[in-house]
Amino acid sequence: MVAQVIDGKAFAAKVRAQVADQVAKLKEENGITPGLAVVLVGEDPASQVYVRSKGKMTVEVGMNSYEHKLDVDTSEADLLALIDKLNNDPAVHGILVQLPLPKHLDEDLVINSIDPAKDVDGFHISNVGLLGTGQKSMVPCTPLGCLMMLREHHGSLSGMDAVVIGRSNIVGKPMAQLLLGDSCTVTIAHSRTKDLPDVVRRADIVVAAVGRPEMVPGEWIKEGATVIDVGINRIDAPEKGTNEDGSVKTRLVGDVHYASASTRAGAITPVPGGVGPMTIACLLANTLTACSRANDLPEPEGLTA
């Protein structure tokens, strides 16, 4: 069996197009333009790249993008004051504070100061609690993206055996809640799991979110299973030669050994080009959802959990 490749890049583009359509409709029919505020503290290069991409795509789907770049030494009080302002700004429907924050800032405190209704990252404890009790919430972007891909591929997930490898607050745990919400039988595995190969082997759906390069070999995958690989790990790739400075070139791999897994899986997301592109698409979807709710309009179809 050769697995169908789940093309995250193409699917993310489709999701962004859906968002753009609905944004256009919102503007035309209701005179409302969704707005996303992104707050970046400091000059971490990776964070700067993310924030730039987010801003660019926000504008591309027709939303307003508000970027707030603060000095690395910004005080907690100043950051909280900015968030308070954004919480009270009716033009801002989504607020995202780019993580990680500099060490002198309390991330939990900062995240929980965002109005839960504008918390488009879905990290506020109220949103975790709402998701955990099956209520309407803002859902973290990466697991929401994984859920959308699974629904797109399978239609109903009801009754499927799903295994989530990894129990992080950002991916593993909300992913398990989402799969449970879609009536999968859900197993959460992690570093203390006794017989991980056996646990993975019984799954119709495997979501790997550990951050260890290629730790899931193809032989663990049940014939025909769907594999969602959340890991994005950079490893040395001596076969690609060296850079000008003599260092070995690198490449990105997932948590799943793609070559072997794709001979057994029914469908699989590649790395790169799988889950990754879905994250920003879901951020835009969440912003649209937040805007619709703030204006008592129906939820955007197909873009929520």
Q: If binding is defined by CB under 8 A, does position 188 make contact with its own copies?
A: yes
Q: Which is nearer to its own copies, 195 or 245 (CB)?
A: 195
Q: Is 280 annotated as a binding residue?
A: no
Give the contacts of 219 (CB within 8 A, at least 6 positions apart): 197, 260, 264
CA-to-CA distance for 98 and 292, rounded, in angstroms? 23
Torsion angles phi and psi, residue 204, rounded to 5: -80, -30
Q: Is 32 annotated as a binding residue?
A: no
Q: Which of 47, 48, 87, 187 binds its own copies (CB under 8 A)?
A: 187
Residue 285 tokens, joined: 């979807």
73 is catalytic: no
**DSSP string covering 126-169, please?**
HHHHHHHTT------HHHHHHHHHHHHHHS--TT-EEEEE---T
Which residues, listed in sequence order, are joined to residue 208 by a DSSP beta bridge? 165, 229
Q: Which is nearer to its own copies, 55 or 132 (CB)?
A: 132
Q: Is 262 annotated as a binding residue?
A: no
Q: If binding is defined by CB under 8 A, does position 186 make contact with its own copies?
A: yes
Q: If binding is defined by CB under 8 A, does position 47 make contact with its own copies?
A: no
Coil, strand or helix: which one is 105?
coil
Q: If binding is defined by CB under 8 A, does position 222 make contact with its own copies?
A: no
Vertex 217 angle, CA 215 and 222, to 5° = 125
Q: Which of 125, 215, 252, 294 binds its own copies (CB under 8 A)?
A: 125
CA-to-CA distance for 118 and 291, rounded, in angstroms? 8
Q: If binding is defined by CB under 8 A, does position 197 make contact with its own copies?
A: no
Q: Is 166 annotated as a binding residue?
A: yes
Is the four-CA dihedral 229, 232, 233, 235 of positive or negative sign? positive
Q: Which is nearer to its own copies, 191 or 243 (CB)?
A: 191
43 CB-contact burial (10 Å; exposed 0-12 / middle 13-18 / buried 19+): exposed
Q: Which of 64, 126, 250, 263 binds its own copies (CB under 8 A)?
A: 126
CA-to-CA distance for 261 and 240, rounded, in angstroms? 23
Q: Which of 56, 85, 190, 251 binds its own copies (CB under 8 A)?
A: 190
CB atoms within 10 A of CB 139: 28
Q: Which of 129, 197, 224, 302 binds its own copies (CB under 8 A)?
A: 129
Closest approach of Cβ 184 to its own copies, in Å? 8
Closest approach of Cβ 211 to its own copies, in Å? 17
CA-to-CA distance for 119 and 112, rounded, in angstroms? 9
84 is catalytic: no
Scanning 25-33, 47-55, 120-128, 275-283 for contacts with its own copies by CB under 8 A, the matching segment is 120-128
Closest approach of Cβ 234 to its own copies, in Å? 27
Q: Which of 80, 130, 294, 297 binds its own copies (CB under 8 A)?
A: 130
Q: If binding is defined by CB under 8 A, does position 158 make contact with its own copies?
A: yes
Scanning 52-60, 70-78, 170-178, 295-303 for contacts with its own copies by CB under 8 A, the matching segment is 170-178
CA-to-CA distance for 118 and 111, rounded, in angstroms? 11
Provide the annotated binding site for NADP(+): 166-168, 232
Applying CB under 8 A, the residues found at the interface with its own copies are: 108, 124-135, 158-161, 167, 169, 173, 176-177, 180, 183, 185-190, 192-194, 199
User: Could you list the active site residues?
Assistant: 54, 98, 121
